[in-house]
Structure 1
Amino acid sequence: MRIFMTYRLLCLALVLSWASILTAQVNPQITPAVPAPIDSMVYYGNTKKPAISDPNQIEYAPTIQGDGRVIIFEAQGKISYQLFQTKISEGKWQKPESITKINESGDSTSLIGGPSLSFDGNELYFFKDAKGNSEILFSTRQKDGWSQPELIGAPINSSGYEGFPSISADGSTLYFVRQNVEGPTSKELKKEAQFCLSIYKSVREKSGKWGTPEKLPRPINQDCEKAPKIMADGRTLIFSSNRPGGKGGYDMYQSKLNDLGEWGMPESLAFVNTDKDDQLPCISAEGDLMYYTYNNNDIYSVVIPPKLRQFMNNIVQGFITDEDSKKGIGAEIVVTDAFTSEVVLRTESNSDDGRYTVVLPVGRSFNFEFRKPDYSSYTYAFDIRSKKKYEEINLNVKLFKTVHLSINVNDHEFFEPMVAEVTIQEKGQDNFIIDKKTNALTGRLSVDLPLGKEYLIVVKAPYFKREAIPFNVSSLVIYREFDKFVELVPEKVEVALNVADMVNNSKVKSKVLLKNKTRGEVIEVDGNQMVSLRAGDRYEVEVTSDQGYAFNSTAIDLTTGKVNSIDVKLMKLELNAQLALKDINFESNSDKLSDVSFIELTRVITLMKENPTLKVEIDAHTDDIGSDNYNLILSNKRAKSVTRPEKSLH
């Protein structure tokens, strides 16, 4: 044969020398063997090896967490089969630990097995067979381990046999087996006395209840099927079957769900099937490594050929916590298609530590919403359309129960911070939950308000119009910090400015300057008209005229009540006219002017500048305390001191 092969090579490749051909004929054994193609079933079959194997017991029915870090399996305990858990560390599976609370729920006759761990690791489904009655139960992960098991109940459990559950990655579908009382369709298998099973599925309804189970159609259910396992993509189903054409015992088959909702023809996993029982596989979301039960005795691992791997996935996982207490919380996670808004899946984080895991198929874009009643919401966008490999994306989410509301109150006209009373009440309630005042310097009040409610905020201050502001945090809330800016509008009083001649009471053309003594406001208007002034303030009024009149001044006090008008009389500048100056005061027994005196003196100086021919005679007096001679000298000094500010202003 070797000589014949060399002859063929000679015919096809004339460049070979005769010496080479003769050497090949003499030493045919040195021709190198052609290596198996990298994707051959033989190559991947050779990757099979024990993964969890204890010679002292039987390991069976593994189930793996979505991130591949935890495996729960069934093993033969002291009396019967029970559940154990192991975690991977530095590439090695650690010593398994008994899941005590679940195992203690049975008795010496109970078989507890067929576990299915949800992909987020928060729920565990399994079956318990006691005295011939097999039914499905579930348990949830808690801080101190797994909770007491609960029956899944009807319509999944019945009076017959239910076992080997498998929960989908989104938690919406449960696959399991029931007894096939009709038996296999194969005539050969019918001859054998055996306990035959068929695969069913139940879909969770919007209410959270499980729907009526449906038997999967052919070509899934054909003869005696066993141990269905739905993969992370939700579309790849692996199960075991003894149907004709296999290698012997129970072989594993794989079927994929197409876009029309039809299951494809099951394909034998020839790379791993043997003449022994090969069944109960589990695959993490990464999809490259399978754990399964070999020969009903040990848990093996094997690398999956690329063409048989499930649709590529990415994992998003993390913890949802209360932002203030830092504790984990159970929250709903809604994933929608970013382009169609179609809900892809709904799931919940663990209520004890907030852990969640979501498996997403690559090639699409998704929007996440994390929400919980009376908590904030959190949204995030994931675009994994261009992803070419498996990735684990960590996303920790913090939700809060209260918002931080800062109310900033300013004067509408001056934009200055102001003190105001702030009351807050729930909509429809009479009592106030907040009744405080803003800071005098900043005009700010900061409060925390619980979410899930509607509020009415009322801001008021004396002599200002009140403001009522609705504040609704009863629905979607994403941001925690809120600022409300309130500008209070001052109440106004209409005042008539009547300016007339002191002698004949005729109206005088004049200018009126109003200086607000409460705040830095200055108003200049013509006399004999209405003016709007701020209620609650005090005004200094100065009236001047360029029609040959002296100035006059007065005050308006709007703190005690409404003032409808003021009447100001102006004196004509004539010979011997006497102008009484107001608020020209001295310290006791002194010729030193008080500070307030300079306001009136400045008006006098202005009048003299506007009327350069005006001559003024200044008279001063004292009280009657002291001798006449002393008071005369003091009066003279006081009259002279009045002239000093006039000189300094020239």
Structure 2
Amino acid sequence: MSNNFTACNLAFLFTLLLVPPALNAQAPATGRTLVSSVSTSKYTEFAPTISADGKTLIFESNKNKVNPVDEHWELFESKLDEKGVWGEPRPLKAINEKCNFLAGPSLSHDGNTLYFTAFIEGTTTSEDIFYSTRLEDKSWSAPISIGKTINTDEYEGFPSISADGNSLYFLRMNEANVYDKKNKENCFLIYVARKSQDGTWKAPVALPPNINAGCERDPKIMADNHTLIFSSIRNGNKGKFDMYQSRMQADESWSDPQPLDFINSPDNDQSPCISASGDVMYFCSNNDIYAIPIPKADRQMVNTHVQGVVRAADNQSPLAADIRVINAQTNEVVSTFKTDVRNGYYSLILGSSNPYRIEFVHKSYFATSVDFDFRNQETYKEVTRDVVLAGDYTAKFEIKDKDLGFALNSFLIVADNDGKVLYKDSVRAADFPLSLKMSSTKQYAISVNAPLYAAHNQSVKFDVAVFGPEMPFPIALEHEKVKFATEVTDVNSKQKMRTKVYYNNETRNEVIVAEDGEAVYLRKGDRYQVMTSSDKGYLFSSASVVAGAEATGGGIPGTLALHVTPVQAGANLTLNHITFPSNSAELKPSSFIELDRVADLLTNNPNISIEISAHTDDVGNDDYNNTLSQKRAQSVLEYLKKKKINPQQLITKGYGETRPVAPNDSEENRERNRRVELVILNVG
């Protein structure tokens, strides 16, 4: 072939060589039948490709040529009707109108992607591989280049896509044997490109020499992804081009090609295609398309055609879902597909060598999987399995305090993006978790309010990677806080003390430790025990405050003034937070923080001895109150002993009702009289 030929000249000559007239009038191999509704006597029909279900046939033809010497090729599509008759072919206009030359179509097994050879003036420098996708109106998109990983400035053509979409077989010129002079044919090599996990094509590699013997054409990989049929000029052929079959072995090598004697004839027999059933081959011979039954010995591996529709559970609408085919034994993703965007239809070819798990995934619905195992199947089978993806989930709401984690009584509003209110009411802490049924296709606005807490507002959008059919929805509300500080001074010198300050929430399990004068944030409305540490040489001091209320001790709002007394004989310290149940000497847990400060005081000042004095109000008789107060003083002693305090430093005394600090004329005053005090007896 002259190097002066343009790409269009090459396309023209290549087609003439690829689709020659019949060599002679010898009878074809027995069993072949002309597909009369597709083939014509006047024009050439060539390179058929068939869908997995055997109901769509696409081929190339020059039937629209303007004059006898015009070799203008176009692609046509025919459908098989319910009576088993192929319908009138219709041209694929969106593809035909864009290309100056077309050849070798290959239909994906789901029928939604068409690969082909094309030359486009001003776009390509030679024939390249393009593809088109089926659109919602069932027409085809404009041609799209498969990309530079496969396409080069030289010839690439006659692609064949595997059933799983992960392998593409095609032709490149045989640089070592460009032209067979004896047969006057261009010679090609068969290449294969594999997809990476990210969906891009890896660099193509030539098939081994036992396949590429020198002058190959029209590779077609069958639905089993293992059987390769191609045309070849080889010794012993019945005609110029005969068809051969090879199978990929377990080690991914290829068996030596075997001639398909049931089909080969003195004519050029080329461009085979077989549906997933594997029982009938369509091919080109003598310028027409034929069909022939395939003997069982020459059929591909046993396949199962699994098809169906993926729909939404809520409204039964079809879904454009992603499909992953997984080897159930190795957990390896074998291939990926997508359903038809128009109707949710999917079509898969599964071999009989492995069990499979098919996963169906959509961004707005819960994924689901279906298991298939056809290892005991001996013949082709068609299985219809419709899939429904659930779009509802149960949200389990729990509303808690952000800092302390307890459940909150609150007011909850949940509304979807259409304005429909799903919930609008108060909810008690005892009602959690509150279960609400929500839709994955909706976006929700959630609002929560509770007294003394900052309002909470959020938007919830379904995330298939995170959500489950039952989805916990914890919401943490932040309590309003007020800034607070405690200033500690020596009661005598008025000098500022450097000491720790403890803030014990009397309502909640919360303790804050800060330095004297350091700002802390207290929960507004909560009552706190505030006390200093028991530093050496000083008694600790304590008070009770409500966060957010006016300051005590003459300070400004948000501050507390505490005065500490030096340790000296006769000094008296009232323990403000030592409490007992009514008529009981058992200490309440709320007493422990202040008693720990007493333990610190005695540890830091081991040279002192103190009296633990317990007092009651006037409820009850004298003897009872004296006994009760003594028991309460003893309870304090026992607690301090557990803190490793030397009992020699302690004595106890119950004074009953004999030393009131206020008249017993109100509950508030009686509470003041029910107290425990420390009296410094000696400082050694």
* TM bracket, shorter-chain basis: 0.5 to 0.7
Corresponding position: 1:48 with 2:32: yes
Corresponding position: 1:67 with 2:53: yes
TM-aligned CA deviation for residue 54 of structure 1: 3.0
Corresponding position: 1:228 with 2:219: yes
Map of 1:89 onto structure 2:
81
Corresponding position: 1:391 with 2:377: no
Identity %: 35
The change in CA–CA distance for 1:156 and 1:452 in structure 2 (over 3 A counts) is farther
Aligned partners of 2:671 and 2:388: how far apart in 1? 62
Map of 1:103 onto structure 2:
96
> Superposition pairs for residues 514-593 of structure 1, below 5 Å?
none
TM-aligned CA deviation for residue 482 of structure 1: 5.0
Map of 1:201 onto structure 2:
192
Map of 1:180 onto structure 2:
174
Map of 1:588 onto structure 2:
none
Are the equivalent residues in 1 in contact too, given 2:281–2:294 (CA < 8 A)?
Answer: yes
Aligned partners of 1:64 and 1:373: how far apart in 2? 32
> Superposition pairs for residues 276-295 of structure 1, below 5 Å?
276-295=267-286
Aligned partners of 2:112 and 2:466: how far apart in 1? 27
> Superposition pairs for residues 483-522 of structure 1, below 5 Å?
496-497=581-582, 504=621
Q: Which one of 351, 357, 361 corresponds to residue 347 of structure 2?
A: 357
The change in CA–CA distance for 1:235 and 1:501 in structure 2 (over 3 A counts) is same
TM-aligned CA deviation for residue 406 of structure 1: 5.0
Aligned partners of 1:506 and 1:59: how far apart in 2? 121
TM-aligned CA deviation for residue 318 of structure 1: 1.9
Secondary structure of the corresponding residue to residue 377 of structure 1: strand
Alpha-carbon displacement from aligned partner over 1:498-549 (angstroms, at most 9, x marks no partner): 59997847769xxxxxxxxxxxxxxxxxxxxxxxxxxxxxxxxxxxxxxxxx
Aligned partners of 1:308 and 1:252: how far apart in 2? 12
Aligned partners of 1:338 and 1:286: how far apart in 2? 23
Are the equivalent residues in 2 in contact too, given 1:363–1:386 (CA < 8 A)?
Answer: no
The change in CA–CA distance for 1:491 and 1:459 in structure 2 (over 3 A counts) is farther
Aligned partners of 2:364 and 2:313: how far apart in 1? 13
Aligned partners of 1:304 and 1:477: how far apart in 2? 50
TM-aligned CA deviation for residue 447 of structure 1: 5.4
The farther-off stretch of 492-501 and 385-394 is: 492-501
Alpha-carbon displacement from aligned partner over 1:133-176 (angstroms, at most 9, x marks no partner): 31111011111121111111212111111111100011111111
Map of 2:605 onto structure 1:
none
The change in CA–CA distance for 1:462 and 1:224 in structure 2 (over 3 A counts) is same
Q: Which one of 129, 132, 151 corresponds to residue 145 of structure 2?
A: 151
Map of 1:256 onto structure 2:
247
Aligned partners of 1:502 and 1:234: how far apart in 2? 96
> Superposition pairs for residues 317-356 of structure 1, below 5 Å?
317-324=307-314, 326-356=316-346
What amino acid sits opposite 2:294 in the alignment? I
Alpha-carbon displacement from aligned partner over 1:174-208 (angstroms, at most 9, x marks no partner): 111111232179xxx44454322221111112222
Map of 1:446 onto structure 2:
436
The change in CA–CA distance for 1:438 and 1:315 in structure 2 (over 3 A counts) is farther
The change in CA–CA distance for 1:318 and 1:504 in structure 2 (over 3 A counts) is same
Are the equivalent residues in 2 in contact too, given 1:375–1:452 (CA < 8 A)?
Answer: no
TM-aligned CA deviation for residue 267 of structure 1: 0.6
What amino acid sits opposite 1:76 in the alignment? N
Corresponding position: 1:134 with 2:135: no
Are the equivalent residues in 2 in contact too, given 1:376–1:451 (CA < 8 A)?
Answer: no
TM-aligned CA deviation for residue 119 of structure 1: 0.6
Aligned partners of 1:452 and 1:215: how far apart in 2? 51
TM-aligned CA deviation for residue 321 of structure 1: 3.8
Alpha-carbon displacement from aligned partner over 1:325-367 (angstroms, at most 9, x marks no partner): 6544433322222122122222222334332222111142111
Map of 2:425 onto structure 1:
437
Alpha-carbon displacement from aligned partner over 1:237-284 (angstroms, at most 9, x marks no partner): 000012221001211110111001111111111111110011101111
What amino acid sits opposite 1:257 in the alignment? M
Are the equivalent residues in 2 in contact too, given 1:495–1:566 (CA < 8 A)?
Answer: no
TM-aligned CA deviation for residue 223 of structure 1: 2.0
Question: Which segments of 5 or more consecutive residues in structure 2 lack a partner in the other structure?
Answer: 1-27, 66-71, 401-406, 416-420, 476-506, 510-526, 528-578, 585-616, 626-667, 674-684
Are the equivalent residues in 1 in contact too, given 2:178–2:186 (CA < 8 A)?
Answer: no
With normalisation by structure 1, the TM-score equals 0.60
What amino acid sits opposite 1:147 in the alignment? S
The change in CA–CA distance for 1:407 and 1:160 in structure 2 (over 3 A counts) is same
Are the equivalent residues in 2 in contact too, given 1:367–1:381 (CA < 8 A)?
Answer: yes
Corresponding position: 1:212 with 2:198: no
What amino acid sits opposite 1:178 in the alignment? R
What amino acid sits opposite 1:391 in the alignment? K
Are the equivalent residues in 2 in contact too, given 1:231–1:237 (CA < 8 A)?
Answer: yes
With normalisation by structure 2, the TM-score equals 0.57
The change in CA–CA distance for 1:342 and 1:206 in structure 2 (over 3 A counts) is closer
Are the equivalent residues in 1 in contact too, given 2:59–2:76 (CA < 8 A)?
Answer: yes
What amino acid sits opposite 1:62 in the alignment? P
Q: Which one of 135, 139, 164 corresponds to residue 170 of structure 1?
A: 164
Secondary structure of the corresponding residue to residue 146 of structure 1: coil
Are the equivalent residues in 2 in contact too, given 1:118–1:168 (CA < 8 A)?
Answer: yes
Corresponding position: 1:368 with 2:368: no
Q: How many residues align?
A: 450
Aligned partners of 1:350 and 1:563: how far apart in 2? 82
Secondary structure of the corresponding residue to residue 297 of structure 2: helix
Aligned partners of 2:235 and 2:160: how far apart in 1? 25
The change in CA–CA distance for 1:246 and 1:126 in structure 2 (over 3 A counts) is same
Secondary structure of the corresponding residue to residue 95 of structure 2: helix
Aligned partners of 1:49 and 1:394: how far apart in 2? 30
Secondary structure of the corresponding residue to residue 351 of structure 1: coil
The change in CA–CA distance for 1:424 and 1:496 in structure 2 (over 3 A counts) is farther
Corresponding position: 1:122 with 2:115: no
Question: Which segments of 5 or more consecutive residues in structure 1 lack a partner in the other structure?
Answer: 1-43, 411-416, 426-432, 509-561, 568-650
TM-aligned CA deviation for residue 422 of structure 1: 4.1
Are the equivalent residues in 2 in contact too, given 1:230–1:238 (CA < 8 A)?
Answer: yes
Aligned partners of 1:76 and 1:363: how far apart in 2? 42
Q: Which one of 282, 303, 322 corresponds to residue 313 of structure 1?
A: 303
The farther-off stretch of 66-75 and 329-338 is: 329-338
TM-aligned CA deviation for residue 480 of structure 1: 3.8
Alpha-carbon displacement from aligned partner over 1:544-599 (angstroms, at most 9, x marks no partner): xxxxxxxxxxxxxxxxxx999899xxxxxxxxxxxxxxxxxxxxxxxxxxxxxxxx
What amino acid sits opposite 1:94 in the alignment? G
